[in-house]
Each structure stands twice: as C-alpha cells, then as structure tokens.
Structure 1
Amino acid sequence: MTPSVFFSTADIDAWIAEDAPLLDLTSHALELDTQPTRLSITCRDDVTAACTEEAARILTHCGGHTLNFVASGTAITADHCLIRAEGPAHALLRAWKVMQNLLEYACGVATATATMVTSVHQAAPDCAVLTTRKHPPGIKRIALKSALSGGALPHRLGLGETLLVFPQHQALICEQTTLRERLAAQGNRLCEKKLIIEAETLDTARTAIAAGADGIQFDKVAPEKLDSWCQRLRDDYPGLTLLAAGGIHSGNAARYARCGVDALVTSSLYQTPPADLSVQLTPAAES
C-alpha cells in the first residue's frame, strides 16, 4: 500500500527554490534551454521505493512530464528504473538534483526500514517497528513516508497526540502531589488515550503501573534484562503494553524483539546511508 502522506504544493516549491530559485546558469550558458530531453533515475542496489510520487511532482512543477515511476513501498531490484520523464532540458536539469536528493534519502530510509521490519518479524512475528520523531527539523513528512514505505509505523507524530511520561516530566512534579494524583485529577478527559510511562528499571516500571500506566517504555535496557522483566510483567499484568527504546538498530533489533515486547521504538533508521542512485539525461527526438 502506498503511504498517503500529505505534501502541499508549497512543500514541493520550497524544495525546488532551495536549489534553483532563479536561473540554472550552466544550462542557460550551454544553450540547452528547450532541447527535448529524457531523464531516468535507476537504483544500483536493491531498494524499497519511497517519495517517488513527490519526485514526479517536482518534475511537473519544473515543467517536465513524468512517463512512469515505481510506487512508494515497492521493493525493486538493482538496475531497476525508479522514474522516467521527458521535457525541455532546462526543466529536467532544474529538477534533477532536487529529485535525486529526495529519492536517495527517502529510499535509503525505506530500504533500511524494510530490512529491519523483516528481521524483527522473523524473530517475533507480532512485534512492531515504530519510528520516533527524532529526525532533523523540516523533514517530518519525508521521514514519515519513507518509514511507512518500509513497513514501520510512527511511534508518535508529535507531542499532542499521545501520553508519554518521561522521567523529565516526573522530575518537575512538586513533592506535594504524585504522578498518580496528577493523572487522577484529569478524570475521564483522557479516557481515549493510552498512558505510557518510560522506565529504566523493573522497580520504576512497577511504580509506573501503580500510577495507572497502560504501558511501559523501557529505555536503554539491555535485552538480557528485558528477557526476564517482560516475562515477569506479563505474568502479573497480562494486558500491559511493553516497548523497548533507546539504542535499537539493525544489528540488535531482532534480539530485542525476542524479549517479548510489543514494539521496538527506534530513531536509527533516519541515519541510514542514502540509496545509491544513477541519473541519466539523454537527448530525445522531437515529436
């Protein structure tokens, strides 16, 4: 399924404006402005496609015409073409690097995500891979669509959609009240939200459950400890949600999945190397 993340026209235009807001001087100096041209972008390795729809929109906004592209979320083999287009040279040359930069990052994240999801599901079929909001500023939509294309889901999209209590929150609660009292004072106003509390030890997890936690997010806990902690908490609280976060990457994700958690929370996929793509521009016969 192709992820339907919304990108506005302003988003597409802003990407183009970062690289070529006024004039492509090289194309102009070489008098390549209106020469009929074809463009193709090919992957050198096996990849999972992501943000190809937005790459096609970049082409259109620059004055080119997309012939075909591979839908986001599609796994393709090396030497497969991601996108083909045609149009005047100035349009394709303006779009070229903007498209390539987008696709290299997006396909890199999607491919790494798909690899991790496969590894995790082989280790524990019911364990989910969730990506955090710890990506560089300004690329939330790209990061989200890329992760979705690889088969992950967002841990949370922003501060306003979930209840996740960190130790930093608890440190600011005055001594006269407890976390449980603060939450109880909300009554039923939060009845639609699941309360997750972060913990670093089994004792703090049990304290969080006593405060009303529906789930525990263990942060930077070694899988050897989680093996026993998860089993003990499952025995005592069968309906409890358990997550593992902090330091989870492709090298240890499967091991963490086997601890018995419901999901892995990771930021590492955003730092994956870009996909290796090749761009070809060739003259096209005038019709």
Structure 2
Amino acid sequence: MNVFFEQSQIDQWISEDASCLDLTSHMLGLTEQPAMLRFVVRNEATVAGTEEVMRLVQACGGQTRLHLRSGARAAPGQALLLAQGPAQALLRAWKVGQNLLEFACGVASLTHEVVRAVQAADPAVAVLTTRKHAPGLRKLALKATLAGGAMPHRLGLGETILVFPQHRALLGGWDEVGQAVARHKHAMCEKKIVIEADGLDEARRAIEAGADVVQFDKVPPETLARIVPELRAAHPGVPLLAAGGIHAGNAAAYAATGVNALVTSNLHYAKPADIGVKIELADGRGEQTLPAIGVPATGMPATGTNGFR
C-alpha cells in the first residue's frame, strides 16, 4: 500500500511519547534484556498501519520478525506484528505502535464494512473518503481507508476543483460561478470541475454553470432516488456524487439511488480496533519463543522470517 511516510514522521510519533527517556524502564533496570513484542487483534479486523509500526520498532532499536500487510483480514486472536530486541527498545515502541494500530485498523475495518455494503447494493458505486479528519492524520487515515477498499475523494485544496455554496456566496451567485468557469475551463482541461448542489434545481444550475460533476450535499436517499434518473436522462455524461451524513447504517440506501459514488468523512471516526500487546523475555534469538501469527487473508500474505511468508 504505497502511502509514503517520511522517517521524520515516524520519529515525531516516537518523540511525542518518549522524547528523552522511558523513566519507568530506567527505574526498573529494563535495558538490554532480550525481549519479544506481539500485537494481537482481539476482534475480526482489516489490517492497516503495520508497515509503519514495523519502521517505528526499527527506529527504537528493535527488529520486526513478522507482520501482516495492510489490507489483510485478521481473525480474533491473530497476531498482527511480532518483534524482538532489547527490552528498552520494545517498551519505547509499545504504546505508540498500539495507538497507531488501533486507529488505523479501526478505520480500515469500518471502511471494509461500508464498502461491502455498498458493493452488495451496487458494485459500480465507489466509496470515497474526504480530507476531513483530525490534523496530522492525513496519511494514516488515507492508508487505512485504502486498506479497507475505499478511494480518496480529495487529498487537498490544490488537487481538485470543488465549488461549495460558500464560494458562490463570495462571488455573488450562480451567474458569477458560470463566468469564472467559462474563463478558466480551457486551462483546467485535465481537471474535473465539481460543483455542490442541495437538490434538483441547484444541480441543473451547476451543470449550466459548467460542472463536470455534481455533488449532492445532505440530500436524503429517497430524494436522490427521484432526482438521479431525471438528471441521468438529461445529462447522461455527468457523474453524480452523494455526500454528507453517509455512514454504515445508510450507505447501502445511498448506493441504491444510482449515484456514481458516495463521499464520506464518517470512516475517519471509526471506533478504534481492540489491540492487545504482549511483551516477554526471549532467549536472545527469539527463535524458540516466536508464537504463530495465524493464517493471513487470501492474497495478502504475512511477511517476515522464521519460515513464514
């Protein structure tokens, strides 16, 4: 899953929790004792973020023996990542790694649930995730939603053109939006111009103003089910998106309206996955105490050493 995390990001996560020292480990004399670390998921989950936790462990001075790749499905009790190294290294990586996995796997698991529900209603409908999440979490949230089967809607303001009612208000109205689009559309030939609408009338105005895509905001699914066929008949080449208030409980209903995609922020606020952590003494090599990681999902193998692939 090719979401790129700079080493400075990994180091920052570590520094937030243990920038100077682990005072508890220092007091207890836990330093170079050979140890093993295991992250285990307590409930069925979609895996995300294990590659970043692997790098985190390495940055703290440990070595990862085995991990499940992001996108795999893990069964209850299955280990997501196994590591070995000096006790002080694993203890430093412990809580940061657990927090990352709980957030990422929670988001990936909810995304997987929503994507499955949408595909059951209409396999042609995409699930897209927004840039609305807590600051600093963009890359991790993106990786988690990709692992769950969604795609990004918009990664930043400079990536796409999306005209909101707030833009219209500042310009003066629909006529001014249309004039601005007409002036610049030739220079934006490689971009799609998306305009938000709150119903059928605004959708028509948006298309008249030059919208390549119409995004409906907070329009109930029963209303969309009436609007979409009429717009499809008049403008068959204009993709239609549903956004605002979409979640696991209503995603299938929205998918059944005939829109091309659902745009949601809800997935970023998933309940964290329940990740257990076990740290214990090793024999110095880790060969005898390495527990089984379980069977990874089809097509998403575990990676590592000690005979596992």
**TM (normalized to structure 1)?**
0.97
Cα distance 1:97–1:219, how it changes in 2: closer, same or farther (>3 A)?
same
Residues 23-72 of structure 1 show CA distances to partners (whole Å, capped at 9, x for unaligned) of 11111111111111001010000111101000000000000010000000
Cα offset, 1:177, TM superposition = 5.7
Paired with 1:177 and 1:258, the residues of 2 have a C-alpha distance of 33
Once the two structures are overlaid, the 10-residue window that deviates more, 183-192 or 228-237, is: 183-192
CA distance in 1, matches of 2:173, 2:221: 33
When residues 176 and 261 of structure 1 are mapped into structure 2, their CA distance, relative to the original with a 3 A threshold, is closer
Deviation at 1:176, TM superposition (A): 11
CA shift at 1:18, angstroms? 0.1
Q: 1:174 deviation in Å?
A: 3.8
2 CA distance for matches of 1:171 and 1:92? 54
Letter matched to residue 170 of structure 2 = L
Q: Given the alignment, which residue of 228, 231, 250 partners 1:230?
A: 228
Task: Label 1:205 to 1:25 Cα distance change in 2 as closer, same or farther (>3 A).
Answer: same
From 50, 55, 66, give the equivalent of 1:57: 55
* Residue identity opposite 2:33 in structure 1: Q
Instruction: Write the distance in 1 (CA, Å) between the matches of 2:175 and 2:119.
Output: 42
Partner of 1:28: 26
Whether 1:139 and 2:137 are equivalent positions in the alignment is yes
Paired residue for 1:184?
182
Match of 1:207 among 205, 213, 225: 205
Aligned to 1:129: 127
Q: What is the aligned partner in structure 1 of residue 306 from structure 2?
A: none
SS state at 2:284 partner? coil
Corresponding residue for 2:304? none
Amino acid at match of 2:42: R
Shift of 1:215: 1.2
How far residue 140 of structure 1 moved from its aligned partner, in angstroms, is: 0.5
> How do 1:3-82 residues align onto structure 2 when only pairs under 5 Å count?
3-82=1-80
Q: Deviations over 1:133-188 (max 9, x none)?
A: 00000110000000001000111100111111101001111479621111111151
Q: Which runs of 4+ in 1 moved over 3 A?
A: 174-177
CA contact (8 A) 2:175 2:209 kept: no
TM-score (norm 2): 0.91
Partner residue, 1:279:
277
Q: Partner residue of 2:100?
A: 102
How far apart, CA to CA, are the structure 1 residues paired with 2:174 and 2:118?
Answer: 44
Letter in 2 for 1:211: A
Rounded to whole Å, the distance in 1 between the matches of 2:185 and 2:205 is 20
Give the Cα–Cα distance (whole angstroms) in 2 for the partners of residues 59 and 82 of structure 1: 13
State the identity %: 54
Q: What is the distance in 1 between the residues matched to 2:24 and 2:56?
A: 20
How many residues are treated as equivalent by the alignment?
Answer: 285
Secondary structure of 2:82's partner?
Answer: strand
| Distance in 2 between residues matched to 1:164 and 1:22, nearest whole Å | 44
User: Partners of 1:238 and 1:171 in 2: how far apart?
Assistant: 29
